Structure 1
């Protein structure tokens, strides 16, 4: 990378396509136990092949990437509206509502790659309940599955906020975008802490420094369970679990519980191996492998940049071109806005 802007672009694209890569690689193993996977793939699966419980086409996004796309498009719309001057003041644009509206379109069959009107073949319970609530109320703050429902369905989609929200709104928007489906504090604070880790990585902090920032944010937001999950992730032996399975002395299961997914993503981030090697191990643990892969993939992509993701994976991803185009457009608009503030506007 030749400049700071190039590095930021690389890590932004890496984060988005890291989610997509982990999701799509992991979809093959969703709901399968480690013992089954290790027999068929003793060294892990190193190619995106589709299949799995829902017979996914090669490279197809599952709900993890689809709902990340919903949040990404909300940020695109916001930046486009600012550019055209169609929102005055800008505070009138509710980013959580925009993300929820796109998520509702996804749920009701207005989505690329699906026959119009058909429902998604995979959707988490909290997401389903939250979107039903939102459809009735049209208020993202009045949706959500309720306290006690702490799945990973908002953590898997939260990364666009880290990439595109301004610093003074980032934590608030992380929480609000989680809340329209997952409003338990374990979920909302996990999203906020995760996104601050992503920002730190893009700002060239080391993985260890980024994780410390995540713990600080979780503490500041008053959710000790999220702080504890990050700490447990720091010592989780990812490579050992992937090769030997989960032993009784390891307090972890690869389930859809948000704090288990957060732990695993922290372990992945702190693993110094390549993006490919780490993500292969994340998904071959099994369980909720697509979502765990997506969440870990986002951190790894922010760490390593798009160049760290194997090209043979990238070329198979359903939304690769769109994600790149939308992310570059948002970054361009934001950069132009900064130049306008400094007195050097560009045409957009």
Structure 2
């Protein structure tokens, strides 16, 4: 196995499990303001302990990781179909539709760790509406909630596209997979830019180089608000706002707007500290801690690789084994097909 292959496996697993770590670490503090967190955890929450608003078991997936799993399984199905099928069947395989189908299974209660038929403990409004529309229409291009709704619910699940799609396909599928729930350009372009950053990190680019690539994509797609959010993220000092508060001289909102999450994730990526310390500070900001943690954790994992994620965190993750097996399987199929 070549060093480049080893790097790709490490960073791919790091990215997926980075999402899961950020989600599971942040779930404990979801909806809490920074002021309450700093009193209870002056140095930040350093362990995955569960609990929180929805009383999660330690390491359990929330909607962030669950819907990342939905997209991951869609890419597994695509690669297996490609391996077994004709050129025509590959062309006809719609990754966005497959991801929407798995997401709908999650919404309807056909999901590991859930009582059959039960609703998710936590589901965003746009995601719920988009999946309701998809159930009725079965068309991922028509189910999105429309312009004006720009929550972070598609950015939190988008990372498999950055890991397993290439070239123009990556950009198109980032937009399409966002669009079956969140089709506002702020969301679709955030996903496209984020996934270009992920792909660049996996390919060995530096964080600064990767961020420049992300800005190039948002500029090309004509969404100035996404470009501005990335630039603002470059200026944020994560450790400072985590210790002084999100409004301690730097106006940073931590709630569920997609551009808030994108800014914070860029700041985390460019933070020179370890995966662990940077992610703890993202969660320490408060607000939408699980989703901000998931989105930032994906970039940090793609930057640092799985070896630099604390083993004590990995050991608690609900989907660790499955994510490792599915991701490795996809990479092997891609290698076989050239």
Q: Scaled by the length of structure 1, what TM-score is found?
A: 0.96
2:240 is matched with 240
- Output the CA distance in 1 between the equivalents of 2:81 and 2:90: 9
1:97 is matched with 97
Give 1:2 shift.
6.1
Give 1:88 shift.
2.5
Give 1:247 shift.
2.6
Report the number of matched residues: 338
1:4 is matched with 4
Are the aligned partners of 1:87 and 1:93 in contact in 2 as well (CA < 8 Å)? no
- Output the CA distance in 2 between the equivalents of 1:270 and 1:264: 10
- Output the CA distance in 2 between the equivalents of 1:166 and 1:250: 36
C-alpha distance 158-210 of structure 1, shift in aligned 2 (>3 A) = same
The residue matched to 1:286 in structure 2 has which SS? Answer: coil
Deviation track 1:131-185 (CA, whole Å, cap 9, x = no partner) reads 0110110000000111000000000000000111122301000000000000000
1:227 is matched with 227
Structure-to-structure mapping, 1:141-156, within 5 angstroms: 141-156=141-156
Are the aligned partners of 2:81 and 2:89 in contact in 1 as well (CA < 8 Å)? no
C-alpha distance 81-2 of structure 1, shift in aligned 2 (>3 A) = closer
Give 1:89 shift.
3.7
- Output the CA distance in 1 between the equivalents of 2:337 and 2:28: 42
Ranges in structure 1 where 5+ consecutive residues have no aligned partner: 339-348
The residue matched to 2:141 in structure 1 has which SS? Answer: helix
- Output the CA distance in 2 between the equivalents of 1:91 and 1:84: 13
Deviation track 1:87-138 (CA, whole Å, cap 9, x = no partner) reads 6341100100000000000000000000100010100000000001101100
Q: Scaled by the length of structure 2, what TM-score is found?
A: 0.98
Q: Which runs of 4+ in 1 moved over 6 A?
A: none
- Output the CA distance in 1 between the equivalents of 2:243 and 2:15: 26
C-alpha distance 184-9 of structure 1, shift in aligned 2 (>3 A) = same
The alignment status of 1:38 with 2:38, answered yes or no, reads yes
The residue matched to 1:47 in structure 2 has which SS? Answer: coil
Are the aligned partners of 1:261 and 1:295 in contact in 2 as well (CA < 8 Å)? yes
- Output the CA distance in 1 between the equivalents of 2:296 and 2:44: 16
C-alpha distance 87-77 of structure 1, shift in aligned 2 (>3 A) = farther
The alignment status of 1:288 with 2:303, answered yes or no, reads no
- Output the CA distance in 2 between the equivalents of 1:25 and 1:66: 15
1:316 is matched with 316
The alignment status of 1:297 with 2:318, answered yes or no, reads no
